[in-house]
């Protein structure tokens, strides 16, 4: 099954309406996204908890890495560069951190609050190579913007 992003966006909007707690929002999104698409093997958030440091947040799937510096890996690159990282082959990504040996591809999106600050990243891993597309990227960026950057 592939995510039906328009329906998923409406569902997430309804579930999160009026909620301002970032951890609650992350938990809800991780759950809804993870169960919406068979390609999503690990779905979760890493939160900015101090300058240049990401720590594990709400997620679905096996264990994730606990701490990721901005200087390392795909998640670090998304936070540091403040742009989505679409990685068709994690083995080809310089400095990839292997939190799970089953991960073959991933998409990591920076999460911005209403002030435009990066508060974390959404990391979605797949056990399939080249699992994510620019269509996934656009839909996920819109969901994150609608959920976290609303004033």
The per-residue DSSP string of 48-72 comes to: EEETTEEEEEEEESS---SEEETTS
Angle between the 5-16 and 22-34 helix axes, to the nearest 10 degrees?
Answer: 150
Q: What is residue 100's predicted lDDT score, i.e. its pLDDT?
A: 66
What lies within 8 Å, CB to CB, of 10 at 6+ separation is none
pLDDT of res. 50:
95
Residue 98, pLDDT score: 67
**Run means of pLDDT, 10 residues per run, the chain, 151 residues:** 94 95 96 95 96 96 90 94 93 71 88 96 94 96 94 54
At residue 151, the pLDDT reads 54
CATH topology of domain 5-148: Beta-Lactamase (3.30.450)
What are the boundaries of each domain within the chain? Answer: 5-148
pLDDT given for residue 127 in this prediction = 92
Q: Which residues pair with 42 in a beta bridge?
A: 125
- What is the token pair recorded at 72? 């390392």
Q: What is the pLDDT of residue 147?
A: 96
């Amino acid at each position: 099954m592939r995510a039906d992003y328009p329906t998923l966006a409406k569902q997430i909007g309804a579930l999160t309406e009026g909620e301002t707690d970032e951890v609650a929002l992350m938990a809800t999104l991780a759950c809804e996204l993870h169960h919406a698409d068979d390609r999503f093997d690990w779905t979760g958030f890493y939160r900015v908890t101090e300058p240049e440091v990401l720590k594990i947040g709400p997620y679905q799937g096996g264990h994730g890495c606990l701490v990721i510096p901005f200087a390392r890996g795909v998640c670090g690159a998304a936070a540091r560069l403040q742009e989505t990282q679409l990685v068709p082959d994690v083995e080809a990504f310089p400095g990839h951190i292997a939190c799970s040996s089953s991960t073959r591809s991933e998409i990591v999106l920076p999460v911005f609050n209403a002030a435009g600050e990066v508060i974390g990243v959404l990391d979605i891993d797949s056990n399939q190579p080249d699992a994510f597309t620019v269509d996934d990227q656009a839909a996920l960026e819109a969901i994150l913007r609608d959920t976290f950057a609303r004033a």
